[in-house]
Amino acid sequence: MAASTDSFRAGKRLWNPADDETLRRRYPHTRTSTLAQQLRRSLSSVYVRAAGLGLHKSAAYLASPDACRLRRVGDEHPGKATQYRKGNVPLNKGLRRPGWSPGRMRETQFKKGSRSGKAAQHWMPIGSTRLIDGYVYVKVADVPSVPYTVNWLPLHILEWERVNGPLPAGSVLVFRNHERMDIRLANLECITRRELMARNTVHNLPKPLAQAVQLLGALNRQLRRRTRDGKHDRRTA
């Protein structure tokens, strides 16, 4: 079939009556890869189209060398004859025990809790400290494969709770001098999240800065509105 008569949709070449007729006539007894090459289509495209037309390979083809060597007439799929049957007992059942290892395998196996490579280089013992987002964290546990917030806790919160007990629900600790590494109890203040929001509100900023923040917010809202309206117009065009 000439390429000029081909029809396309979304970049894909459509099947036409002539191709369907060729597929019906040759699919049952022709190797699919050969048929796909002659029809100038992918292998998966031919399989899908054949399934849609209800086509199947003939018994003569399945018994021929062109079919899979393991396929037999009446098999549901290749390899069925060599499948492990349900109910068969594995030959090594009961021969191995927990910790079993042949030869010197036990000597070279990873031991529980052992570390190597980067894990060993970066490992830190309990009690170590490090900076995370400007806050001092201390390692309180060594549980593998968990978020760092399980093994590492903020040192300023631990120090405050050591004296005052658990931090009340809905409360946060703030640094009076705004220095996150200054974890002295005198520098820690427990306030509610509502109080924290009030402290950080734009109205507490100098007037020129507050006006600039409000103007920036108004501009961002206008940009979002125009972008949203533009998308809507394109959809309805």
Domain boundaries, the chain: 3-79, 125-202
DSSP label of 168: P
Tens-digit pLDDT profile for residues 98-150: 666 777 777 777 777 777 788 888 889 999 999 998 999 999 999 887 888 99
Task: Give this prediction's pTM.
Answer: 0.44
What's the rounded Cα separation, in Å, for the pair 139 and 130? 8
The pLDDT value given to residue 2: 41
Residue type, position 111, single letter? K
> What parts of the chain have a pLDDT lower than 70?
1-6, 10-11, 68-79, 81, 96-100, 231-237
What's the rounded Cα separation, in Å, for the pair 190 and 179? 15
**Look-up of token digits 């998308």:** 231
Residue type, position 131, single letter? L
